[in-house]
Amino acid sequence: MEHRWGERVSVRTTVELSCGSLPPVCGYLENLSSSGALVRTDGPRPPRGPVSVIMREGDFGRRRPARVAAYVVRETANGVGIEWCEFAPRAVRGLLGSNTAMQPRVQSAASNATPSAVLVRAAG
């Protein structure tokens, strides 16, 4: 069952998950929405609970790293599902906005408009 608020968008941006006194976990955002994301990791994954998602400087025009509060709510063989503590945090809105400008738009069969940009929906 899908519990997401907002459309899931495919991305690939490097992040670091900071979990209190545990060593940081490196990974990348595979997809995200206004309410959460899937973070792929190699090696150990953070435990369920609060984390800070640190998005690197320079990704999509940021001048300094963005730190977004989240919770690990799901574990997979290759990473973790997270939910943002705040719905649609500023850094996530920036990624969603940048991503729509970079990908082709899905055109409905009824539309004769020329495609220009789109959100690519990830399988879920």
How confident is the model at residue 58, as a pLDDT?
58
Contacts of 71 (CB under 8 A, 6+ apart): 48, 49, 50, 51, 82, 83, 85
Q: What is the mean pLDDT of the chain?
A: 76
The fraction of the chain above a pLDDT of 70, given in percent, is 68
Contact 18, 24 (CB under 8 A): yes
Q: Where are the domains of the chain?
A: 9-102
The answer, yes or no, to whether residue 111 has pLDDT greater than 80, is no
Instruction: Phi first, then psi: give them for residue 15, nearest 5 degrees.
Output: -140, 165
How far apart CA 108 and CA 124 sit, in angstroms, is: 21
How far apart CA 66 and CA 93 sit, in angstroms, is: 12
Provide the pLDDT confidence category of residue 106 given band limits of 50, 70 and 90: very low
CATH number of 9-102: 2.40.10.220
Give the tens place of pLDDT for each residue, 28-80: 999 999 999 999 998 888 899 999 999 976 555 557 889 999 999 999 999 99
How confident is the model at residue 107, as a pLDDT?
32
